[in-house]
Amino acid sequence: MMSCALKCRAGSRTWTRRNPAVGERLGVLGGTFDPIHCGHVLLALSVRELLDLDRILFIPAADPPHKRSDEITDAIHRWRMVELALEGLDVLQPSRLEIDRGGTSYTVETLRHLRSDHDGAELHLIIGADNVCDLSTWHDPEGILQIARVVAGARRQSGVSDDDRFADRIIHLDTPLFEVSSTTVRQRLRNHQPIRYLVPPSVESYILDNGLYGTGDS
């Protein structure tokens, strides 16, 4: 079987072509954003450019199904950091959809909402390539793929879905590698290491002002 990455890269050229008959080309980047970092912003800006998307919604999860809720920072803080990081970037917009819905944040439900709220929009669900293998474990992956094109940005730890139903349908893009994760940011803060250039300056200030990730501990 030809690898998913090869097939999709070749195919991605056709995906960038704008079809005047369709509506808005909308990107969706969901995540825990605990905290949001420059890797998220760079991923979104790169995908927007490569696929000629009109805008991308950043949707922080209320309660992500794959993470322990008692280990996640309060949604109020994660939301505010997303807002701060995206200030002045008109094409990247924060959305409270999952936070306001509350409960476990299933991507398929979010996409259904967006489909009914944005009639005729072409939805593009953006994930990091490290998440590709996990897609088959998400709630209703078939439903996700029926509503949205799933687009994977490059990560050093890339995956190719081993589930044939999904592998061929994921579009892999050559986005720039910027290997930062929220886990690294949290660890660095706990170790009193600098996070400059890993997160936007406004996010760094917010973290310090609110004593997040152990920065308030004496």
Binding positions for ligand ATP, rule: CB under 6 A? 31-34, 39-40, 43, 127-128, 130-131, 153, 155, 178-183
For ligand ATP, the closer of residues 153 and 167 by Cβ is 153
For ligand ATP, the closer of residues 28 and 167 by Cβ is 28
3 state SS of 194: coil
For ligand ATP, the closer of residues 25 and 78 by Cβ is 78
Rounded to a whole number of angstroms, the minimum distance from the CB of residue 105 to ligand ATP is 11
For ligand ATP, the closer of residues 46 and 147 by Cβ is 46
The sign of the dihedral angle between the CA atoms of 136, 139, 140, 142 is negative
Rounded to a whole number of angstroms, the minimum distance from the CB of residue 130 to ligand ATP is 5
CB 121 within 8 A of CB 26: yes
Burial class (CB in 10 A: 0-12, 13-18, 19+), 36: buried
Rounded to a whole number of angstroms, the minimum distance from the CB of residue 4 to ligand ATP is 16
3 state SS of 148: strand
For ligand ATP, the closer of residues 43 and 147 by Cβ is 43
CB 153 within 8 A of CB 126: yes
- The DSSP element (H or E) to which 145 belongs, if any, is helix 141-147
Rounded to a whole number of angstroms, the minimum distance from the CB of residue 46 to ligand ATP is 9
Rounded to a whole number of angstroms, the minimum distance from the CB of residue 191 to ligand ATP is 15
Contacts (Cβ under 8 Å, ≥6 apart) of 38: 178, 180, 197, 198, 199, 200
